Amino acid sequence: MFVKKKILTAIFFVSAMSMLLVFCNVCSKRDDKKNSEGSLLFQEHYTSQTNDLNISDITKILNGDSSYNVYVDTKIANALSAEYPSLVFKECDAVLNPPSSDKRALLISDLRGLVPTMKLVSIDGYYPWGKLEDDWTINTSYNYPILKRYAERWNDENHITIVQTGVTAMSRGFVGVVNRHKNLNRPIEKVKQITTAADIATTSNEVSFTENCKHPLPNKMEFCTPMEYFDILKDAGFDVIELTGNHNNDYGRKANTKTINLYEREGMKFFGGGRNKAEAEAVLYITVKDTTFALLGSNEWGPALAWATETQAGAAKFSPALFERTVKEAVSRADIVFVTVQWGNENDPKPYKQQMEYFRKAADLGAHIMVSSSSHRAMGLEFYNNRFISYGLGNFLFDQMHTINHRRGLIARHHFYGKRHVQTELIPYLMFNHSEPTPVKGKEASDIFEYVFKHSIGPAFRN
Residue 32 placed within a domain: no
Q: Is 5 contained in some domain? A: no
Distance CA 366, CA 361 (A): 9
pLDDT value of residue 16: 42
* DSSP-derived secondary structure for 180-191: HHT-TTGGGTTT
Alpha-carbon distance of 214 to 71, in angstroms, equals 59
Instruction: Provide the pLDDT for residue 350.
Output: 87
Together in a domain, 83 and 184: no
* CATH code (residue 398): 3.60.21.10
Together in a domain, 169 and 104 = no
Domain count, the chain: 2
Residue 78's CB is within 10 A of a number of other CB atoms, namely 12
Closest listed residue to residue 256, CA positions, set 395, 174, 246, 266: 246
Read off the DSSP letter of residue 47: T
- Relative to beta strand 52-53, strand 122-123 is parallel
Q: Are residues 113 and 138 in the same domain?
A: yes
Q: Which distant-in-sequence residues (6+ apart) come within 8 Å of 357 by Cβ?
A: none
pLDDT value of residue 396: 98
Residue closest to 301 by CA, chosen among 279, 316, 282: 316
pLDDT, one tens digit for every residue, the chain (463 residues): 333 333 334 444 434 444 443 334 434 334 444 567 999 999 999 999 999 999 999 999 999 999 999 999 999 999 999 999 999 999 999 999 999 999 999 999 999 999 999 999 999 999 999 999 999 999 998 889 999 999 999 999 999 999 999 999 999 999 999 999 999 999 999 999 999 999 999 999 999 999 999 999 999 999 999 999 999 999 999 999 999 999 999 999 999 999 999 999 999 999 999 999 999 999 999 999 999 999 999 999 999 999 999 999 999 999 999 999 999 999 999 999 999 999 999 999 889 999 999 999 999 999 999 999 999 999 999 999 999 999 999 999 999 999 999 999 999 999 999 899 999 999 999 999 999 999 999 999 999 999 999 999 999 998 5
Domain hosting residue 197, numbered range = 158-461
Cis peptide before 216 (omega within 30 of 0): yes
Residue 6 included in any domain: no
- Tell me, yes or no, whether 203 and 141 share the same domain: no
Are both 227 and 290 inside the same structural domain?
A: yes
Render pLDDT for 83-118 as a digit per residue (tens, 0 to 9). 999 999 999 999 999 999 999 999 999 999 999 999
In a domain, 105, yes or no: yes
Render pLDDT for 319-351 as a digit per residue (tens, 0 to 9): 999 999 999 999 999 999 999 999 999 999 889
Q: Are residues 86 and 166 in the same domain?
A: no
Q: What CATH number does residue 110 fall under? A: 3.40.190
At 30 the pLDDT is 42
User: Does a structural domain hold residue 1?
Assistant: no
| Same domain assignment for residues 135 and 197 | no
Nearest Cα to 382, choosing from 343, 424, 420, 417? 424
Q: Is residue 15 one of the residues assigned to a domain?
A: no
Could you tell me if 147 and 37 are in contact, meaning their C-beta atoms sit under 8 angstroms apart? Answer: yes
Among residues 327, 334, 257, the alpha carbon closest in space to that of 297 is found at: 327
Answer left, alpha or beta for residue 458, where phi above 0 means left and psi between -120 and 50 means alpha. left
Phi and psi angles of residue 384, each rounded to the nearest 5 degrees, phi first:
-110, 120
Other C-beta atoms within 10 Å of 41: how many? Answer: 28
Are residues 59 and 189 part of one domain?
A: no
